């Protein structure tokens, strides 16, 4: 077996893991499976493209590659703006759609169906604005560096892995060591009691959207940097995101990241051993096996 | 209205219920004086829990008024009431079982100014040494009595002027009920007004200053705890005296 699949799996897995954190937080706190989450990945990637393009047009120096990387300062700066814009987009979708359904005490199935509708709308809007033609942050070629053991990686890939690792630790610390994190865990367990103890549940919900969509944007930017940017990129990641969120245990941030890596590795293994057309089947098989044998996931607690 | 002294909490013609056209609480006038302990009693389905949940902001108030001192809190959302000095301990699921004891207390302390949080949680640990022994223990691993104590401790973090408890004796052994109620009496004697919804009439009247009996969402009787405990008609109709007599040889 080619050892390179480990690195390929880790890259894909880190993107899946970042996206799955948003899915798991939305699921545990807002209590529905948000099928529009993949679209935040796509929108994050396109927002960064647009912002980096605008910054590059303002100053050509921002397009000069930084050190060993393939991109200039326009992309990291654009990524920061894209993260904020994607968070804003999530808040807008909540204000226009999910918030109104919550007020009407809509059932979970209505929320899920609404998320399908939101996903279609967001994806179509993206295709309308940017067309469905694949685009790239940079067309500069990068030489993969040997890391030992027959494994190679480009500086961009290593940076993506590092950013994902830092973000997972940061989100974990946010949830376990801060007041807003405590509030999020409390709302996840019992929203009514959370209100009684002085927590403003609406503020927690806003934080979940901002955090989940922001992480999705970074996953999208990583995917765009390493592969390509397409309106369908979020949809393609949706099944692996849910497989990772469920495998990790709903509500568990480290679980979502670890499960993302497992799903990524399984996909890479499937591509290498069975064929690229079976990539999605690997995530689906994991999802089915977890639901059958350990529905609470790796880090979840049995009901 | 038998309350004397400065008013801690009051309701005027309070009508409340989950559905607008189906009121469960039907025009309740109620007063609690500062430092008073009032028990709310009555048969099952009388609207006791709905009444206190409406005061706490968990059940819609359709008409009437609820006030904390002179502050009208009829339309104040549940999460803001704790900021104004009203704490509520629900009957069931009144702790965050997946969070540690310390996190349960810190959750309530988070609404205090930063410099006071740790100090206030330490005060509560001094008041409830059982909780202080294992602050990092998951609250779901506590016994029934300890859970109730944690819920009360969390409610006290913000130093409320009024503490409402919905059936704190539910599911506890008689020995633990005695312990919980003696703790509640001590909290009340420290100056916190307490509204106690209870099915355990004997235990509630033993610590209450005053009691009222709700029947079908309305106040049917009201008086001092001692008077109500000795009233044979009230005891027979609403407090289970007949049943107690029947089962005694």
Asked if the Cβ–Cβ distance from B110 to A179 is below 8 Å, we say: yes
Question: Would the pLDDT of A213 be above 80?
Answer: yes
Provide the b/e sequence for A251-279 (b: ≥16 CB within 10 Å). bbbbbbbbbbbbbbbbbbbbbeeeeeeeb
The CATH number of the domain holding residue B15 is 3.40.50.300
Whether A203 contacts chain B with CB within 8 A: no
Q: Quick one: average pLDDT of A186-193?
A: 92
Hey, is A278 helix, strand or coil?
helix
Q: Rounded to an integer, what distance in angstroms lies between the CA atom of residue A165 and that of residue A186?
A: 25
Write b or e for each residue in B21-52: b if 16 or more Cβ atoms lie within 10 A of its Cβ, otherwise e: eebbbbbbbbbbbbbbbbbbbbbeebbbbbbb
- Torsion from C-alpha of B135, B137, B138, B141, nearest 10 degrees: -120
d(CA A169, CA A282): 27
What is the predicted pLDDT for the residue at B240? 59
pLDDT of residue A280: 85
Residue B132 lies in a domain: no
At residue B246 the predicted structure's pLDDT band, cuts being 50, 70 and 90, is: very low
**Interchain contact A196–B (C-beta under 8 A):** yes
ipTM at complex level: 0.85
- % of chain A at pLDDT higher than 90: 79
Whether A191 has its CB under 8 Å from any CB of chain B: the answer is no
Question: What pTM, to 2 d.p., does this model score?
Answer: 0.87
Looking at beta carbons, which residues of chain A come within 8 Å of B111? 198
Tell me, yes or no, if A198 comes closer than 8 A to chain B by beta carbon: yes
A183 in contact with B, Cβ within 8 Å: yes
Q: Is B100 within a domain?
A: no
Contact A198 B80 (CB under 8 A): yes
Task: Kindly report the nearest CA distance between residue B84 and chain A, in angstroms.
Answer: 10
**Dihedral of the CA atoms B97, A183, A21, A210 (nearest 10)?**
160
Q: What local confidence, expressed as pLDDT, does residue B99 receive?
A: 94
User: Inter-chain contact A182–B103, Cβ cutoff 8 Å?
Assistant: yes
Is B197 among the domain residues? yes
- Distance separating alpha carbons of residues B66 and B102, to the nearest angstrom: 32
Domain count, chain B: 1
Domain assignment of residue B174, given as a range: 7-90+161-247
Q: In this model, does residue A303 exceed pLDDT 80?
A: no
pLDDT the model gives residue A141: 81
| pLDDT of A285 above 50 | yes
Q: Is residue B106 part of a domain?
A: no
pLDDT per position as a tens digit, A2-26: 888 889 899 999 999 999 999 999 9
pLDDT digits (tens, 9 = 90+) for B175-214: 889 999 999 999 999 999 999 999 888 889 999 999 999 9
The vertex-A96 CA angle with A219 and A201, nearest 5°, equals 75
Mutate to test the interface with B, among A189, A193, A203 (most CBs of B within 10 A): A193
Question: pLDDT tier at B3 (50, 70, 90 boundaries)?
Answer: very low
Q: Among B80, B96, B154, whose Cβ lies nearest the Cβ of A190?
A: B96
Residue of A nearest to B90 (CA): A193
Is B60 within the bounds of a domain? yes
Residue B5's pLDDT is 65
Task: Work out whether the CA dihedral B194, B198, B200, B201 comes out positive or negative.
Answer: positive
Nearest CA in chain B to A195: B79
Question: pLDDT class for B66, splitting at 50, 70, 90?
Answer: very high
- How high does pLDDT run on average in chain B? 89
* Averaged pLDDT for residues B221-246: 71
List the one residue out of B210, B228, B232 whose CA is nearest residue B39: B210
The per-residue pLDDT for A150 is 85
pLDDT score of A221 more than 60? yes
Q: Which of B59, B157, B40 is nearest to B108 (CA)?
A: B157
Say whether pLDDT at B243 is over 80: no
Contact A200 B79 (CB under 8 A): yes
Q: Render pLDDT for A122-144 as a digit per residue (tens, 0 to 9).
A: 999 999 999 999 999 988 888 88
A301 touches chain B (CB under 8 A): yes
- Mean pLDDT (chain A, rounded): 93
What are the structural domain ranges in chain A? 4-293
* Higher-confidence position of B1 and A288: A288
Give the residue-averaged pLDDT of B11-27.
Answer: 93
Residues with Cβ < 8 Å from B175, sequence gap 6 or more?
none
Determine the residue of chain B that is closest to A251 in CA distance.
B98
The percent of residues above 90 in pLDDT, for chain B, comes to 74
Class of domain A4-293: mainly alpha
What pLDDT is stored for residue B1 in this prediction?
A: 44
- Asked if the C-beta of A148 comes within 8 angstroms of chain B's C-beta atoms, the answer is no
- Give the Cα separation of A174 and A181 in Å (integer): 5
């Amino acid at each position: 077996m080619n050892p390179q699949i480990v690195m390929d799996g880790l890259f894909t897995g880190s993107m899946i893991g970042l996206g799955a954190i948003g899915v798991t937080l939305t699921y545990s706190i807002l209590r529905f499976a948000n099928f529009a989450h993949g679209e935040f990945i796509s929108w994050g990637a396109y927002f960064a493209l647009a912002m980096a393009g605008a910054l590059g047009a303002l100053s050509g120096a921002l397009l000069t590659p930084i050190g060993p990387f393939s991109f200039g300062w326009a992309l990291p700066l654009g990524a920061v703006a894209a993260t904020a814009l994607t968070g804003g987009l999530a808040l807008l979708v909540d204000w226009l759609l999910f918030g109104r359904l919550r007020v009407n005490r809509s059932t979970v199935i209505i929320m899920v169906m609404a998320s399908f509708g939101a996903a279609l709308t967001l994806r179509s809007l993206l295709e309308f604005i940017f067309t469905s033609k694949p685009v790239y942050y940079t067309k500069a070629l990068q030489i993969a560096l040997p890391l030992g053991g027959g494994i190679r990686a480009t500086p961009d890939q290593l940076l993506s892995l590092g950013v994902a690792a830092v973000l997972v630790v940061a989100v974990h610390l946010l949830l376990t060591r801060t007041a807003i994190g405590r509030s999020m865990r409390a709302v996840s367990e019992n929203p009514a009691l959370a209100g009684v103890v002085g927590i403003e549940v609406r503020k927690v919900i806003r934080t979940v959207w901002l955090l989940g969509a922001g992480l999705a944007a970074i996953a999208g930017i990583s995917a765009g940097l390493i592969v390509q940017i397409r309106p369908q990129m979020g949809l393609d990641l949706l099944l692996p995101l849910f497989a990772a969120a469920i495998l990790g245990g709903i509500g568990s941030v480290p679980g979502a990241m670890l499960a993302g890596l497992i799903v990524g590795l399984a996909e890479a293994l499937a591509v290498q051993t069975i064929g690229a057309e079976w990539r999605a089947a690997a995530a689906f098989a994991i999802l089915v096996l977890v639901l059958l044998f350990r529905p609470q996931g790796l880090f979840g607690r049995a009901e | 209205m038998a309350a004397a002294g400065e008013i801690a909490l009051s309701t005027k013609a309070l009508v409340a219920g989950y559905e607008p056209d189906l009121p469960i609480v039907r025009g309740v006038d109620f007063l609690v004086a500062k430092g008073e302990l009032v028990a709310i009693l009555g048969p099952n389905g009388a609207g006791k829990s709905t009444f206190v949940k409406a005061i706490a902001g968990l059940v819609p108030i359709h008409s009437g008024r609820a006030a904390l001192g002179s502050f009208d809190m009829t339309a104040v959302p549940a999460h803001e009431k704790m900021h104004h000095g009203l704490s509520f301990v629900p009957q069931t699921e009144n702790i965050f079982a997946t969070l540690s004891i310390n996190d349960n207390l810190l959750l309530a302390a988070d609404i205090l100014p930063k410099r006071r949080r740790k100090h206030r949680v330490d005060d509560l640990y001094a008041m409830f040494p059982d909780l202080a022994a294992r602050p990092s223990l998951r609250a779901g691993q506590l016994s029934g009595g300890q859970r109730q104590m944690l819920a009360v401790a969390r409610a006290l973090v913000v130093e409320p002027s009024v503490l409402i408890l919905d059936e704190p004796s539910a599911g506890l052994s008689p020995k633990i009920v005695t312990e919980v109620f003696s703790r509640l009496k001590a909290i009340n004697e420290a100056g916190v007004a307490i509204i106690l919804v209870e099915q355990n009439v004997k235990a509630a009247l033993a610590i209450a200053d005053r009691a009222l009996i709700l029947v079908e969402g309305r106040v049917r009787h009201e008086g001092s705890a001692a008077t109500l405990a000795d009233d044979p008609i009230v005891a027979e109709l609403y407090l289970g005296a007949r049943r107690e007599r029947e089962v005694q040889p």
